[in-house]
Copies of this chain bind each other. A is one copy, B any other.
Amino acid sequence: MDMHELTRSLQVKNSAKIVMLVGDGLGGLPMTPGGKTELETANTPNLDRLATAGVQGGSIPVKPGIAPGSGPGHLGLFGYDPLKYQIGRGALEATGIGFELQNGDVAIRCNFCTLDADGLISDRRAGRIPTEQSAPIAISLRQIQIPGVEVFVEPVKEHRFVVVFRGEGLHGEVEDTDPQATGVAPLDPVARDEASQRTAEVAKEFLRQAREILKDQPHANFHTMRGFASKPDLPSYEEVYGLRAAAIAVYPMYKGLARLVGMDIIGEAQTLDDQMEVLKQNWEDYDFFFIHYKYTDSTGEDGNFEAKVKRTEDLDAILPKIEALNPEVLIVTGDHSTPAYLQSHSWHPVPTLLVSDCCRPDPHTSFSESNSLTGGLSQFEAKYLMLLALSNAGKMGKYGA
């Protein structure tokens, strides 16, 4: 049974507030055998105080051993089984640049490439053309017109851009045109199913016009199309949980992910302090707040242990501002760990803290990677975190009589 069948039928409305503070990439590894992790090194008096009052556990983003990207990592936290609900590459790329996908849209990741005189690919990334040059070229493709289809072209970075088709009868099951090799011609877009036939035709026409427009470019004289994807069909927070939910994020990717589950994107925050101000200003208007903090991830990706420790301390420092609003349920977690040691997303259970008046506190008095593994929440799949949030907030009735 899908957990949302349960949450739909067990919804209880009340005035309780839930705050989920996501430190992207939270938690890590020792840099040397026997050393301390990022959380163990960081001075986090507020998290430790909350760990004493609350309960901690290790959130397994997908399944044991699976390191997720941002998409599945957040879907899990939002309570959407990341193995059931998948966000196609194109849709994630469009989401990541803040493009507001609508139902029925098909989004595609495109790479500028270089064709030789014979029309064979000589460079799959057009010499990694810099963004200053590639953006205007991408924008020049906006002149492409295809009957019955609205076409959007959005620059991303260097050789990358995004195309979105909007119109009737479009589906995302189309093969990549990138042959993943040089010295061969780009492939034609081929539909994998009948319903995506029209998308393949539209893509083919787009490529025909693009070839004409780009033909005189020295490097970016053509492009490939990859990761065709329809907008994922995710039920909304309002529908599955009965929650008025808001997202307070700085980066477009996380605003986009929140938008996919029907959260309102509020404020124009650029810093944690801004985010706290947005939270306070909107406190009365929502039941659930998702607050996203990026820098525990980006410093981990950089392999910069000290910077990640500092960013973790910055996250700790703003907690009193959230507590001052007296949320009934306060959760601190991450969509995955990004250990500086690995310089990448990891599969380790993510230290997760939950505080409420009925959370059944565990004996731990500090918040850390190792304590979380033996905390009162034990290790659990991230997709269950929302159930715990709802029940601790009194927003879910009992199952069965």
Which residues of A approach B to under 8 Å, CB–CB? 1, 3, 6, 29-30, 33-34, 37, 53, 58, 62-73, 82-84, 86-87, 89, 92-93, 339, 341-342, 344-349, 357-358, 360-363, 369-370, 373-380, 384, 386-392, 396-401
**Closest chain B CB from A385 CB (angstroms):** 8
- Taking a contact as CB atoms under 8 Å apart, the answer to whether A388 and B64 are in contact is yes
Known contacts A64-B384, A348-B360; 4 additional CB pairs below 8 A are A1-B84, A64-B388, A67-B391, A360-B370
- Taking a contact as CB atoms under 8 Å apart, the answer to whether A400 and B86 are in contact is yes
A360: B residues at CB distance < 8 A: 29, 37, 348, 369-370
**Closest chain B CB from A98 CB (angstroms):** 16
A87: B residues at CB distance < 8 A: 400
18 A-B pairs in the complex with CB atoms less than 8 angstroms apart? A1-B83, A6-B83, A29-B358, A29-B360, A33-B53, A64-B377, A64-B384, A65-B386, A65-B391, A68-B400, A71-B401, A72-B400, A86-B400, A93-B401, A345-B398, A346-B391, A362-B370, A374-B374
A396: B residues at CB distance < 8 A: 65-67
Q: What separation, in Å, do the CA atoms of A84 and B401 have in the docked complex?
A: 15
Contact for A69 among B62, B72, B376, B400, CB less than 8 A: B400
Q: What separation, in Å, do the CA atoms of A240 and B116 have in the docked complex?
A: 39
Q: What separation, in Å, do the CA atoms of A360 and B53 have in the docked complex?
A: 25
